[in-house]
Structures are given as C-alpha cells and as structure tokens.
C-alpha cells in the first residue's frame, strides 16, 4: 500500500517517492506534484500553510 502526501499548493494527493520536488520549511518536509507548485510554495510558504488552521481561529 502506498502512503500519499498532500501537495499544499494544489491539494493533490501524491506519492512521496515520485514527487516532482520537496521543500523543507520549519523542520517539515513538503512534497509537490510539480516544480511549479514547489516554486509557488518556496516564494510564499505561509500563504499555503496558513490556510490549514484557519477554522480554529474564528469560531
């Protein structure tokens, strides 16, 4: 069984073994389906990561 990871930019599920690119940010490795997604993430990681916990702030 293959474990998939979530591309933080386009939200695709991808296999880390075949990911087009990876980035390290704050001690965590992120995987990307394409170099375009990696480039977008590298330019502004908080833009993509900030959305993961927005539900916990406003309720």
Q: Does 39 reside within a domain?
A: yes
Q: Residue 49: inside a domain, yes or no?
A: no
Contact 46, 26 (CB under 8 A): no
Give me the pLDDT at residue 1, please.
65
pLDDT tens digits for the chain (59 residues)?
A: 679 999 999 999 999 999 999 999 999 999 999 999 999 999 999 999 975 444 444 44
What is the residue whose two structure tokens read 């990911």?
Answer: 19
Find the domain containing 33 and state its range.
Answer: 1-43
Q: H helices of the chain, where?
A: 35-43, 45-49
How far apart are the C-alpha atoms of 11 and 29, rounded to whole Å?
15
Tell whether 21 is covered by a domain: yes
* Residue 48 in domain: no
Number of independent structural domains in the chain:
1
The reported pLDDT for the residue numbered 19 is 97
Identify the three-state secondary structure at position 25.
Answer: strand
Residue 51 lies in a domain: no
Phi, psi of 29 (to 5 degrees): -95, 130
In a domain? residue 28: yes
> Do the domain assignments include residue 37?
yes
Prediction pTM value = 0.79
């Amino acid at each position: 069984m293959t474990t998939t990871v979530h591309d933080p930019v386009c939200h695709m599920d991808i296999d880390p073994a075949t990911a087009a690119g990876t980035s390290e940010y704050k001690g965590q490795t992120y995987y990307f389906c394409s170099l375009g997604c990696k480039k977008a993430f590298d330019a502004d990681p908080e833009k993509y990561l900030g959305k993961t916990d927005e539900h916990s702030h406003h309720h």
